[in-house]
Amino acid sequence: MDTIINKYKKYNLILVIVSFTATAKGPINLELKCRLNDGVTQLQGSEGYCNFNSQTQSFKGSSTEQARCLLRFISQGNGSLKESTITPFIENIVGKKAPEPMNLMRFISRRDINENDLGGPLNTTIGANYFIIHDTSNPKCSNSNRYCPPNNSFPPEMNSNSWAFNKNFDNNSKNAHVYTNRVGASKKVRDFSQGMETTKFEICTHPKLKSGLFVGVENIQPRRDSTTSNKFKLGNGYEGPIPGFTDIQYERLALIYTAASVRRGIWLIPAFHGVIDHYYYDGHDDPQNFDMVTFSKKVEEIRDEIMKIN
């Protein structure tokens, strides 16, 4: 009799577990997504590498100090963070007044650029303070597929209009507010005024307090297995091309950054995805091979052109 009762209790417990698992799929997935790297404390995960304060809703230090920290060089495979890549120009503008919307409207009108491709209408304000730069890390060319040639190599046509990924913007993925492709075009997924989490850091701790503070832009970049290190497993997809992005892709990204800043009224603090999520397991290592000097120069050129417009 006791055996039957015990079996029933055990069976009933299994039902409860199965039922809970079925109804709690979201929280379980979130727990996996929010796993921290070994040795990282919950406090570190909550604050991030650059010490985010949930009460002040900002990272530690002045706008310039925050940008220095958030733009550190990222090693392959979410490895160590090295020196900051920030330029004197970016140091000087972050947190300061951005150009007027009307001037930027005239600038893009003369170039036949649609403001929606830059994150939305320029005459509507946003509340974000941080501009997160991603790379798609996709397509993964570790193995041949419809987008990649064989032998762990990059597509020879990846910087041309003919490449499928430049046409479909990462196969129409929806992981960021805006996407840029390698031929200088962009596509809005969600308006910058609308909250959208593009990092683990935004999702995993105090999401309500961080809502709307960040905007994210994905930049198309294929990956392949690392050819510089044998410590990674096959299929790692950690290596991006060199140069990492095209000149016209930097130009479009700089224009999107300017548009977001104009809508905020101040120059946003730029940040790398890999730095934001550095404490999280599988926190990504993007953007790889990002040339901050080129990006900075493009932003400066756009700003100077806008300032000349009457």
Measured distance CA(22)–CA(26) in Å, rounded:
9
Q: At what angle do helices 247-264 and 292-308 cross, to 10 degrees?
A: 60
The arithmetic mean of pLDDT across residues 47-61, rounded, is 96
pLDDT digits (tens, 9 = 90+) for 97-144: 999 999 999 999 999 999 999 999 999 999 999 999 999 999 999 988
How deeply is 254 buried, as exposed, middle or buried, from its count of CB atoms within 10 A (0-12, 13-18, 19+)?
buried
Measured distance CA(267)–CA(275) in Å, rounded:
20
The arithmetic mean of pLDDT across residues 67-94, rounded, is 94
Sequence-separated (6 or more) residues with CB below 8 Å from residue 225: 142, 152, 232, 234, 235, 236, 237, 238, 239
Q: Which residue has the higher pLDDT, 284 or 247?
A: 247
The arithmetic mean of pLDDT across residues 44-69, rounded, is 96
Measured distance CA(85)–CA(205) in Å, rounded:
27
| Helices and strands, counts by H and E, the chain | 12, 7
Compute CA distances 210 → 26, 28, 80, 118, 201, whole Å. Answer: 20, 22, 25, 22, 9
The total number of residues written for the chain in this structure: 310
pLDDT at 27: 55
Average pLDDT, the chain: 90
Residue 81: is its pLDDT beyond 90?
yes
- 138 pairs with which residues across the strands? 221
pLDDT at 226: 87
Sequence-separated (6 or more) residues with CB below 8 Å from residue 217: 131, 132, 133, 134, 176, 177, 178, 179, 180, 253, 256, 257
**DSSP H or E segment with residue 261:** helix 247-264
Residue 67: is its pLDDT beyond 60?
yes
The arithmetic mean of pLDDT across residues 206-216, rounded, is 94
Residue 240: is its pLDDT beyond 70?
yes
Per DSSP, 90 falls in state H
pLDDT digits (tens, 9 = 90+) for 160-182: 999 999 999 998 899 999 999 99
Longest Cα separation, the chain? 91
- Residue 103 one-letter amino acid: N
Q: Which residue has the higher pLDDT, 116 or 12?
A: 116
Residue 45: is its pLDDT beyond 50?
yes
